[in-house]
């Protein structure tokens, strides 16, 4: 697992400069889309969406995302759309509504091949083994799931047993993402998520035994009681699981979105300086352990598909994060789920009762979204290059987008001067290249090309570090 420190791994950011982390620690989008979901509006509804999808290429592939919102217990840090309940009947009723939504959308999407499938939450493993099988059967009954589909599921090790893992494997899932966050008992108590390390180890053992090919571990930094010393122990213990990927997120403190996060304020959050040191340690530790720094919060083994996509310049970014599938539309199912096509984003209602009632009446539960303008699509293309390629070839992108890049973005290129001065961006003849150390600041660099930012980001977005 360890790497030769003399051999620089792909996208190794090198030594992390704390002064630069301080300088660029501002609020900004994560760019899982452009424009971001903060710019969705209610002018986009089912009446606007359905006719556009009916005109789609019937052979073009799609990615299906299913949102399963139920959690048995509230984790105080979480700002996701969720429903806290111990009533399994609510999940049973929800699966009936999901089946009806699938029927409605399949009637428009037809038999387009499904090349990606993801169950997110909430807690997908809140479902019983029988309910997991039921969901898998619904998906395959309504959609054309390809034999080689990349099927992944988010797993809470506290809600994971052999029967559920068997059901997931039977439904075709071979990738799993484990919510761990931290293994320190004091941190777990402070965030309302007690999860002994033994549960994580057991979950990985079960997954490997059933042939799961890829395991990702989700961690968070910036939580109460975390220090570089405690985080060193957390990483040492989690590395024993030998995951193919890590997603290590900066804790986003947005109590105006999730009031439960105020519980963390009572315990006390790490000072900004501590959080910056945590980030520095995480990156240097995982790169030294042989992982490739993909970008933002993601790390992967060199042989992993994400790392290969990074090397081959085929990495993509969408509402599900980094992806290896370019140009694939996303079909979102379930309350709050977001769908994505070439020039349209649309989102289901976040209200469970409204969602269930709409699909029961035979209506798509879409309530908001965003129609992309020609300008949006151009800027999205540029931001995707920054987030996924760390390089822009002016001639190539000009030809692809039908513009003169240097002229179109004259002001933005001039505004990159601070990044150039700090050694984060190289501007050469016909090329913009983000340096290895600059990869830590791709969100900040991408913000230069964002026409929708207007100083309101502080209450909309999390910190970039």
Q: What residue numbers does the annotated binding site for [4Fe-4S] cluster cover?
A: 71, 75, 78
For residue 41, give the DSSP letter: B
The encoded tokens of residue 331 equal 């079909």
Rounded-to-integer distance, Cα 243 and Cα 422, Å = 34
In Å, what is the CA distance from 193 to each residue of 217, 247, 249, 333? 16, 18, 16, 27
In Å, what is the CA distance from 136 to each residue of 67, 119, 364? 13, 10, 21
Feature table: binding site: 65, 71, 75, 77-79, 121-123, 154, 181, 193, 218, 252, 338
Rounded-to-integer distance, Cα 379 and Cα 204, Å = 40
For residue 125, give the DSSP letter: G
Q: Alpha helix locations (H) across 312-393? A: 352-360, 374-388
Feature table: binding site for S-adenosyl-L-methionine: 65, 77-79, 121-123, 154, 181, 193, 218, 252, 338
The encoded tokens of residue 178 equal 């484990």
């Amino acid at each position: 697992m360890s790497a030769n420190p003399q051999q620089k791994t792909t996208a190794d950011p090198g030594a992390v400069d704390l002064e630069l982390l301080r300088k660029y620690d501002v609020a900004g989008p994560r760019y899982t889309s452009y424009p971001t979901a903060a710019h969705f509006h209610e002018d986009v509804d089912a009446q606007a969406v359905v006719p556009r999808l009916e005109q789609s290429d019937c052979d073009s592939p799609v990615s299906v995302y299913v949102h399963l919102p139920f959690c048995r217990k509230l984790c105080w840090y979480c700002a996701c759309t969720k429903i806290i309940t111990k009533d399994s009947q609510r999940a049973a009723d929800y699966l009936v509504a999901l089946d009806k939504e699938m029927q409605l959308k399949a009637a428009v999407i037809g038999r387009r091949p499904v090349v990606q499938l993801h169950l997110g939450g909430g807690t997908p493993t809140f479902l019983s083994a029988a309910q997991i099988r039921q969901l898998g059967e619904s998906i395959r009954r309504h959609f054309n799931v390809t034999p080689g589909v990349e099927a992944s599921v988010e797993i809470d090790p506290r809600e994971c047993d052999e029967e559920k893992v068997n059901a997931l494997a039977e439904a075709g899932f071979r990738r799993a993402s484990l919510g761990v966050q931290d293994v320190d008992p004091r941190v777990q108590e402070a965030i309302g998520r007690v999860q002994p390390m033994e549960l994580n180890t057991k979950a990985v053992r079960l997954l490997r035994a059933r042939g799961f090919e890829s395991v990702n571990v989700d961690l968070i930094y910036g939580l109460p009681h975390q220090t570089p010393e405690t985080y060193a122990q957390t990483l040492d213990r989690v590395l024993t699981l030998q995951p193919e990927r890590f997603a290590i997120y900066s804790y986003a403190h947005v109590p105006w979105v999730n009031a439960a996060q105020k519980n963390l304020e009572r315990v006390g959050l790490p000072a900004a300086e501590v959080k910056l040191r945590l980030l520095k340690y995480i990156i240097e530790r995982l790169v030294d352990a042989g992982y490739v720094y993909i970008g933002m919060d993601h790390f992967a083994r060199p042989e992993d598909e994400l790392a290969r996509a990074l090397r081959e310049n085929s990495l993509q970014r969408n509402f599900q994060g980094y992806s290896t599938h370019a140009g694939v539309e996303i079909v979102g199912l379930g309350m709050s789920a977001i769908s994505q096509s070439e020039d349209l984003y649309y989102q289901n209602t976040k209200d469970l009762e409204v969602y269930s009632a709409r699909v029961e009446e035979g209506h798509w539960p879409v309530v908001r979204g965003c129609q992309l303008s020609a300008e949006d699509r151009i800027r999205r293309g540029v931001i995707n290059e920054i987030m996924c390629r760390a390089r822009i070839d002016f001639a190539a992108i000009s030809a692809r987008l039908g513009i003169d890049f240097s002229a179109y973005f004259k002001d933005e290129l001039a505004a990159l001067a601070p990044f150039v001065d700090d050694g984060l961006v190289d501007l050469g003849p016909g090329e913009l290249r983000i340096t290895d150390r600059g990869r830590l600041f791709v969100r900040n660099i991408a913000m230069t090309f964002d026409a929708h930012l207007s100083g309101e980001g502080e209450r909309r977005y999390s910190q970039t570090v």
